[in-house]
Structure 1
Amino acid sequence: MLTTAPGIDRLRRSLAAAMEQRGDWPERSPWIREAVDALPRHRFAPDRVWRWDGHAYVPVSQRTDPAGWASEVYPGPDTATVTEVTDGLPTSSLSSQAVVVDMLDSLLLEPGHRVLELGTGSGWNAALLSRRAGPDRTVSVEASCDLAHAARRALAAAGLTPRVEVGDGNQGWAPAAPYDRVIATYAVERIPWAWIAQTRPGGRIVTPWGRLGHLALTVADDGRSATGWVQGLAQFMPDREGLRRESDFAQVRARSEPEQERPFLRDLTPLHDNAHLRFALRVALPHLRMTLAYDADGLNAWIHDTEQSWAALSAIGGGRTIATQGGPRRLADELETAWDTWLNLGSPDLYDFGMTVTDNGATQFIWVNDPTTGPHWLIP
């Protein structure tokens, strides 16, 4: 692929400088910045990426619009580059650089570690892992044959030799187990037990959870459980099964008529501005999906449970909001109850939360402050 898009070196430097200014380069893992500098993300981006134009994803070709392509590959620190769109939805991406760096820092990867990656995508993350762990120490699993093939080509061009296999990442890759480190690049609702079973006792698993954050689990000495803390906040794509099966608000709204309308007396602003509140709500109400948007009257929220229940919190001006609800559940009421629970706990940060997985994966729960004595919520 071409790598001489106009301004690409300037964009690389600008992105690195923005991360430097924000303190995104971790002091305890200097190897990460060195690896990113040596293996820049554009070397793993496909010739066609995708841009959201406000209505749909449109292709941006490196050959016909090299400057536009470069700006999509090197956006801000928190913006991902969409590399695959299927039926109008993004199904693969080059994750935002800040998130990639943060997750690699959480992995505590050392030279010589055997590492398993779930979700190869473009191959960039596998390249960074391979550079740190050493030759032939990385296995990466990708569900898409086409993506796996493209990643192998990009990795070979970079002179790296991680093993890229085609398969279901939720099953791990047993033939090369056990691993010292496991890292996933897509979000799961429940931790696949295969990941824990294929990790050495004392090994570390870093994965996005619930599309809203990522956590690091340490496997117990007896290999029968894993526990650890939330490490950061970011949005992630789910696995491909999750992409296929989930309904959006419009679909859920069409399944039931409005059944209740009432004033919603709480200021919605924290839903938009407070990431710690949003994470706590995701823990307490794992099936809920929420979209926020401002209009001339204020902040609005659309909530649904992916099945039959929905709520619209509509600003009507003058600081007033109306809650309209439909379906068997009263989601606006549930939202307020979960919000009050978080407040009564002292408004804990997302970093105060953690996860424990036991019983061959059958029991999984999120806890706050302490895995044994703290409040906890079972993951359904």
Structure 2
Amino acid sequence: MTTTRDYATLRHNCAEALAVDRQFGAPWVRDAFEAVPREMFAPSRFCIREEDGTYPVVSRATDPEAWGRAVYTHDRALITQFDDGDATGGQAAVGRLSSSLSSLRVVVRQLSHLDPQPGRRGLHIGTGSGYDSALLAERVGARNVITVEVDHRLAADARRALDTAGYGDVQTVVGDGEHGWPPGAPYSWVLSTASAMRIPWAWIEQTAPGGVIVTPYRGLALVRLVVANDGESASGPIADAMAFIPLRGQRGRDVVDVRPVIDATMSGAERLSTTVDLSVLGEALGAELLFHVLVPGVHIRFGETWWFQSRDASSWAAWKPTGQGRQWGPRRLLGEAEAAVTAWQEAGEPDLTDLGVTVRPDEERLWAGRSDGPSWLVT
């Protein structure tokens, strides 16, 4: 049986590994990490993703030692829910990942970028297990943390875990985090642990001038925004590369299987040679993010042949690094990809962290270098 002392040792050893990797951006983050018992927030069963794409179940009941090691593995997420249901699929699990305990490497980096100040009240979007809320409580005080969770079952489990772990003063709310939580506003900080395709204006409205908003962004990035003194905008750089499960209201449609369409239309597809090297889309995150902003609703599958497809399967394209390609449908996807790569090149080939975001009530823009530099409307 794994004891409280065993978990404390696992936690300390994990902290040492994170420190060696220089993941703690501020001393308080390590202090909070070592203070919060993560094992109290992990469900008794969860899944982990293996390299072969399977999701084996780790069970505390059947293998408590493996369960404890997994809880304190610093570079792996614990999948707690598929398709808004229970994480019980195991090896054959399929479907959409809908909740997880993020890898500890990601958790501590995100908190370091937020860096909330002691005693300052804030809003946490995406309660999940409650673990992140407990870490925030260690920094700002439990009474200063309000956390919102859209899934009532997850919220109930988090409430129990917070109470049991000694963070009963954290306020948990069941609701849609895209709308924030107006009764608690204004906030000094907002942290989302769900990825936004578009940054909800409600978060900015509910944040005091000078307040900080940190959120995963468009499945690739972590953006840190500061609300302007007049409250009419928020702007800031992309601080890190980071992937999170999206906000439920911003998931968009699932990618339709385009293979039957390809089989039926391949003979009539347009053949062409690209004049722009698209390979940077698989090599430079800055180029990939700009592609997804300028070419919305398109999924890329990398391989010997790259496949571009609109999510509704109405258009597709195939491209090889030799520059040879085919495309079919009302959208000329290779042409759109070339235009996006050209825009990235003309902006000076910015890295991901050379980009930033400005949000106003009527628009959101991605920019390169600085907020008055080259910019593109986010649609």
> TM-score normalised to the size of structure 2?
0.86
Q: How does 1:137-286 map to 2 (within 5 A)?
A: 137-160=144-167, 161-243=169-251, 245-248=252-255, 250-251=257-258, 254=261, 257-258=265-266, 259-263=269-273, 270-286=280-296
Relative distance call for 1:181 and 1:326 in structure 2 (3 A) is same
1:320 Cα deviation after fit = 4.0
Alignment map for 1:40-79 (pairs within 5 Å)? 40-52=37-49, 54=52, 56-77=54-75, 79=76
Partner of 2:15: 16
The aligned residue for residue 338 of structure 1 is 340
> Measured at CA, do residues 280 and 136 of structure 1 come closer, stay the same or move farther in structure 2, by a change above 3 Å?
same
Q: Give 5+ residue unaligned stretches, structure 2.
A: 84-93
Give the corresponding residue for 1:296: none
Secondary structure of 1:214's counterpart equals: strand
**1:167-221 residue CA offsets vs partner (Å, 9 max, x unmatched):** 0000101111111101111111211111111111111111111111011111111
Residue aligning to 2:125:
118
Deviates more, 1:222-231 or 1:167-176: 222-231
Q: 1:340 to 1:83 in 2, by over 3 A?
A: same
Structure 1 range deviating more: 124-133 or 320-329: 320-329
Q: 1:301 aligns with which of 301, 306, 330?
A: 306
Distance 1:253 1:204, change over 3 A: farther
Change (3 A) 1:108 1:252: farther
- Counterparts of 1:222 and 1:63 in 2: how far apart (Å)? 54
Q: Is the 8 A contact 2:127 2:147 kept in 1?
A: yes
Contact 1:249/1:310, CA 8 A, preserved across alignment:
no
- Whether the aligned pair in 2 keeps the contact of 1:6 and 1:67 (CA below 8 Å) is no
Q: Which is worse superposed, 209-218 or 251-260?
A: 251-260
What is the TM-score with the length of structure 1 in the denominator? 0.86
TM-fit CA distance, 1:249: 5.3
Deviation at 1:252, TM superposition (A): 8.1
Stretch moving more, 342-351 or 53-62: 53-62
Q: Which amino acid aligns with 1:326?
A: W
Give the residue type in structure 1 aligned to 2:118. Answer: P
Secondary structure in 2 matching 1:203? strand
In the alignment, the residues of structure 2 paired with residue 303 and residue 350 of structure 1 have an alpha-carbon distance, to the nearest angstrom, of 22
Cα pair distance change 1:300/1:155, threshold 3 Å:
farther
Alignment-derived partner of residue 131 in structure 1: 138
**Unaligned runs of at least 5 residues, structure 1:** 294-298
Deviates more, 1:165-174 or 1:225-234: 225-234
Aligned mate of 1:313, from 308, 319, 334: 319
Q: Is the 8 A contact 1:252 1:310 kept in 2?
A: no
Give the C-alpha shift of residue 8 in structure 1.
5.8
**Quick one: which amino acid aligns to residue 63 of structure 1?**
A
Q: Which string of whole-angstrom CA distances, capped at 9 and with x for unpartnered residues, describes residues 233-271 of structure 1?
A: 11111112344x422252586488342234557766544
Q: 2:351 aligns with which of 349, 352, 355?
A: 349
Contact 1:114 1:181 in 2 (8 A): yes
Percentage of identical aligned residues: 38
CA displacement 1:64-84 (0-9 Å, x = unmatched): 23344345433443x322111
Q: What's the CA shift for 1:52?
A: 3.3
Report the alpha carbon displacement of residue 88 of structure 1 after superposing the two structures with TM. 2.3
Q: Equivalents in 2 of 1:271, 1:132: separation in Å?
A: 39
Counterparts of 1:302 and 1:73, CA distance in 2: 36
Moved over 6 A (4+): 265-268
Give the structure with the higher percent strand: 1
Listed one character per residue, the Cα deviations across residues 257-313 of structure 1 (whole Å, up to 9, x for unaligned) are 3422345577665443433332332333343322324xxxxx443322322222233
Residue pair 1:141, 1:167 contacting (<8 A) in 2 also? yes
In structure 2, the residue corresponding to 1:257 is in which secondary structure? helix
Q: Which residue pairs with 2:362 in the alignment?
A: 362
Amino acid aligned to 1:61: S
Does the residue aligned with 1:57 lie in a helix, a strand or coil?
Answer: coil
Residue type at the aligned position of 2:24: W
* Alpha-carbon distance change, 157 to 369 in structure 1, aligned in 2, over 3 angstroms: same
Q: How far 1:4 moved relative to its partner?
A: 4.5
Give me the whole-angstrom Cα distance separating, in 2, the residues matched to 1:90 and 1:352.
Answer: 30
- SS of match in other structure, 2:204: helix
Seen in structure 2, the aligned counterparts of structure 1 residues 60 and 94 have a Cα distance that, compared at 3 Å, is: same
Report deviation, 1:11.
Answer: 5.4
The answer to whether the Cα contact below 8 Å between 2:318 and 2:327 also exists between their aligned partners in 1 is: yes
Aligned to 2:98: 91
Partner residue of 2:378?
A: 379
Amino acid at match of 1:22: D
Give the letter for the 2:232 counterpart: R
Distance 2:5 2:36 in 1: 19
